[in-house]
Amino acid sequence: MKVRAIQSVAVMTGGGDCPGLNAVIRAVTKTAISKFGLEVWGIEDGYLGLIEDRVHVISYNEVSNILTVGGTILGACNVANPFHYQKVGNSNQARDVSCNCIRTLNSHGIDALICIGGDGTMTSAAGFAKKGVNVMGVPKTIDNDLYGTDITFGFNTAVTTATEAIDKIHTTASSHHRVMIIEVMGRYAGWIALHAGVASGSDIILMPEISYKLDKICESVLNRSRRGKKFSIVVVAEGAKEKGGEMVVAKKVANSPDPIRLGGVANKLVVQISERTSLECRAVVLGHIQRGGTPTPFDRVLATEFGNMAVELMMKGITGQMVVLKDGKLSNIPLSQVAGKIKTVPKNHHLIKTAMAIGTSFGV
């Protein structure tokens, strides 16, 4: 939709942290200041900063030397949905405080908002677009589950980190003749498990899109043992579940846009597999190490391109969109098409077929 002339832009990082966030902030700020002469504002701690009016002007120097730094200089928050906000520690019913956020923008003369985040952040961004805010989305998640884009920045770094960890676990598994079960992140999608599993040469990959059979997993590790392979590597996505069973939930966060926190499937499998096979099993939960550290060169480049593209589109009068990478090219799609959707791994994905062809089990 056509927007009024933009003289200032704000940028925020919503949801969980992710390698490459600072690269986007840097690209947005430098493009806005150097090319268009805009004033740039930073929203602190995601939508919570908009709700609580915690913003500041970002200078050119503030974003120097942050390209390689993990995390986000602006802070993040994954428990602040402006359209369904419940203050932490407050038992009162959640309420819509989106008007407070718009008031924050208007009070500082901010003409446009760039929201960096995943599906929850984009859903709220779509809501602001409906209310007339000049908003642009930049897709971020290590899980690579954001609808509409082939890849999100942060995913490549997470896969690299997970693969390096599994490589190290491989040697100790071999030394002690153990079945090592490594749990990776991904929520309801198996992208990290699939890519890290294939890259590390794991023997079994378990993911949400393909419900596993416990008997098949036990059969696989026992067959390896009989063939003289005295260890096995099992990579399991946190959202993987047994056929006919449920995902393992670690806890629920009531005031979060996505209250379910998955986790614990690796520990569950350790008990089940060791009981059925008498093989020694150990669980390793990689957890937040996958979110940390310096972004890979791929993610630095992608994040920089996304940040620049977001500003370029806005200055062309395009808003209410999310920047995407589709078929190797930068493009954009309406935020309304992204809201409320996730991108899972198709069961006929070429990497699943490749893994099966070389003998990798998916527990089916």
Sketch out the chain's domains with CATH numbers.
Answer: 8-153+295-338 (3.40.50.450), 158-290 (3.40.50.460)
Name 180's Cβ contacts closer than 8 Å, sequence gap at least 6.
Answer: 169, 170, 172, 173, 231, 232, 233, 234, 281, 282, 284
- Give Cβ neighbours of residue 112 (< 8 Å, ≥ 6 apart): 3, 6, 8, 9, 10, 133, 134, 135, 136, 314, 319
pLDDT of residue 3: 44
Cα–Cα distance, 198 to 349 (Å, whole number): 13
- H/E run at residue 285: strand 281-285
pLDDT of 89 reads 62
Active site residue 143: yes
How far is CA 128 from each of CA 24, 72, 81, 132, 240, rounded to the nearest angstrom?
21, 23, 12, 7, 34
- Block means of pLDDT (10 residues each) for the chain, 364 residues, are 75 92 98 97 96 96 95 90 80 85 96 95 96 96 96 97 96 84 96 98 97 96 88 95 90 71 92 93 94 95 98 96 96 94 95 97 96
Q: Are 128 and 98 in contact (CB under 8 A)?
A: yes
Amino acid, single-letter form, for residue 8: S
**What pLDDT score does 340 carry?**
87
> Among residues 143, 145, 203, 299, which one is catalytic?
143
pLDDT at 90: 60
Nearest to 116 by CA among 297, 288, 305, 306: 306
pTM across the whole model = 0.93
